[in-house]
Amino acid sequence: MLVSLLNFKYLPQKKDLVVYTYEVKKYSSGNLRDTKSVFEASHQKGAHYSYLVIENSERNSKDPVPEELADTLERFGVGFAWFFKLQSGEYDLQVVLEPKLQTPSRTDVNKYIVRFIGALGEKERADLETSI
């Protein structure tokens, strides 16, 4: 999950919270055929943008959205990206399909974030608090 706070200079509501979610799966031919991963990635109740991300160092970063998933991704407004580990040891996220904006209520976004933080272990929560 990525939570971004946008600041607008000329709008009455000066700040806006945007939540991005990422369902990361290891590459396998099964993951590319299984639309269940799209449903797992779709967090319409609490996120504004959701991505299905397939981690794979063997594929070409120019590969299109897998045909088996394309219709389901489009129908649920979920984006698609390849995630690569580069030879340098760094990582690269190649977005192939941008997600559609979802409009969850502020209450639902808050519940989603609280539930996410509650599911973290003690160390992850401490890391989160130090990065805020």
pLDDT of res. 131: 63
Q: How many domains, in total, are found in the chain?
A: 1
Q: CB–CB of 89/61 below 8 Å?
A: no
Burial (CB count within 10 angstroms: exposed 0-12, middle 13-18, buried 19+), residue 14: exposed
Domain range for residue 67? Answer: 2-104
Residue 85 counted as domain residue: yes
Span 83-106, pLDDT tens digits? 888 888 888 889 999 999 999 988
Whether the per-residue pLDDT at 50 is higher than 80: the answer is: yes
In a domain, 76, yes or no: yes
Query: What pLDDT score was predicted for residue 4?
Result: 83
The reported pTM is: 0.81
126 falls within a domain: no
| Inside any domain, residue 111 | no
